[in-house]
Amino acid sequence: MIMKNRQTLISLSIVVVLLSSIYYIGTDGFTAYTAETSRTNQLVNSQPEFPEVVLEDSLNREYNFSQFEGQYVFITFFYSACSTVCIQLEENMGEVYEALPEEFLGEDVTFLSISFDPERDTPEVLNSYQQYFGSDGETWRMARINDDQELNNLLDTFEVVVIPTDDGHFTHNSAFYVVNPDGHLTAVLDYQDIDSAVDYLLEELED
C-alpha cells in the first residue's frame, strides 16, 4: 500500500513538472498570462523599425519621422472623436509627460500622439484637441499621417488593431509605444500603469 501511494505521488509529480514546463514555454517564462501579452512580448523582441512616414502635426508642419532620430519617441495611437479609452490614454500620457524632468523633453525624448483618423483629425482639430491634455505641440506633438498606405503599414508593423465600426468609430487596442534613438520599437507599455512607464523612460534617459 505504501509502495502504491509512493508510485502515485511520483506519477503526480511528473505530471506537475511536465505541465509546468509546457506552461513556462507557452507563456514566455510565466510572463505572458494572456495571448495579448504573449503577442506583445514577441513584437518587442523583434524590435521592428518605425517605418518612414510623413507626419502632419497640429501646427500644419509636415516632416518625416526620421526627424526624431537620436531621441526616444513616446507614442500613442488615438482618434479625437473617441469618447472612451482615448481620453484616458491621452490623460495618462500627460501624466507621464508631466512626471519627466523638463530637461529631457524635446531633447532626449519627444512625445507623439498619432491619429489613425486623418480624414477628421485635421491640424485644426488636433490643435484644439491637444489643449485638453497639456500638449504644447512641440515637445508633445499630435499628428496625423495622410497617406493611407503609410498609415496602414505603420499600424501593421506595430500591430495596432484598428477596426472601423458602423457608427463611424473604431475598435482599437491602446498602449504606450517607445521607439529608441535608432528608430526601433523597444517597449509596449500598459497605458494604465503610469508609474511603470515613467520608471522605464527615466531608466532609459538616465542611462
**Residue 104 DSSP SS3:** helix
Q: Helix-strand-coil percent breakdown of the chain, rounded to 5?
A: 45, 20, 35
**DSSP classification of residue 47:** -
**DSSP classification of residue 49:** B
- Strands 109-115 and 140-144, how do they pair? parallel
* pLDDT digit string, tens, across residues 79-112: 999 988 999 999 999 999 999 999 999 999 999 9
What per-residue confidence (pLDDT) applies to 1? 55
What per-residue confidence (pLDDT) applies to 34? 63
Are the C-beta atoms of 138 and 60 separated by less than 8 Å? no
Q: For residue 7, count CB atoms less than 10 angstroms from its CB and return exposed for 0-12, middle for 13-18, buried for 19 or more.
A: exposed
What per-residue confidence (pLDDT) applies to 15? 40
Quick count: other Cβ atoms within 10 Å of Cβ 140? 24
Task: Tell whether the model's pLDDT for residue 183 goes beyond 60.
Answer: yes
What per-residue confidence (pLDDT) applies to 7? 52
Higher pLDDT, 38 or 73: 73
Are the C-beta atoms of 82 and 168 separated by less than 8 Å? no
Domain edges within the chain: 2-44, 49-205
- Strands 176-179 and 185-189, how do they pair? antiparallel
Q: How far apart are CA 87 and CA 93, in angstroms?
A: 10
Phi, psi dihedrals of residue 130, rounded to the nearest 5° = -65, -25
What per-residue confidence (pLDDT) applies to 22? 38
* pLDDT digit string, tens, across residues 113-171: 999 999 999 999 999 999 999 999 999 999 999 999 999 999 999 999 999 998 989 99
Of 122, 116, 93, 133, the closest CA to residue 171 belongs to: 116
49-205: in CATH 3.40.30.10: yes
Task: Extract the C-alpha cell encoding 109.
Answer: 525624448
**Residue 14 DSSP SS3:** helix
**DSSP classification of residue 105:** B
Task: Extract the C-alpha cell encoding 192.
Answer: 494604465
